[in-house]
Amino acid sequence: MNREQVIELFKFIKSVYPTFEVSSKKVDVWTKVMRDMDYYRVMKRAEEYVVENKFPPTIADIAAYAPPKNETLKQMKQWRKEAEQVPTEVKLRFREKMKQLIEEKSK
């Protein structure tokens, strides 16, 4: 999350909890701590939090991270691209050696 997003979060919290104190220092600290969090997920957690709690949330109460990116498909595409550059004769030799190895190990 960036500073502007933290300010939007604070506006939301302040609208529900009028006693929630906002300062430039607090915005700075929350921005630093929440920099790797997902804004939309945090806002959703904050909305859920205010329905059930009479005191303002802490960072821990509403912390939310985006799920880690799955790079598997990207990696597979890269491998396919690299495999296309391997000459056909190398691929054929590899297949033949693999076939021989399988036959030897299956005896």
Q: What token pair was written down for 7?
A: 């300010």
pLDDT in the model for residue 12: 98
For residue 4, count other CB atoms closer than 10 A to its CB.
11
pLDDT in the model for residue 15: 97
pTM of the predicted model, to two decimals?
0.66
How many alpha carbons fall within 13 Å on the CB side of residue 88?
Answer: 0
pLDDT in the model for residue 107: 81
Report whether 1 contacts 37 (CB < 8 A): yes
- Kind and range of the H or E element at 86? none
Which fold is adopted by the domain 3-62? Answer: Helicase, Ruva Protein; domain 3 (1.10.8)
How far is 61 from 49, CA to CA, in rounded Å?
A: 8
Which residue ranges of the chain lie beneath pLDDT 70? none
pLDDT in the model for residue 27: 98
pLDDT in the model for residue 85: 92
In single-letter form, the type of residue at position 2 comes to N
pLDDT in the model for residue 13: 98
Q: Where in the chain is the domain with CATH 1.10.8.200?
A: 3-62
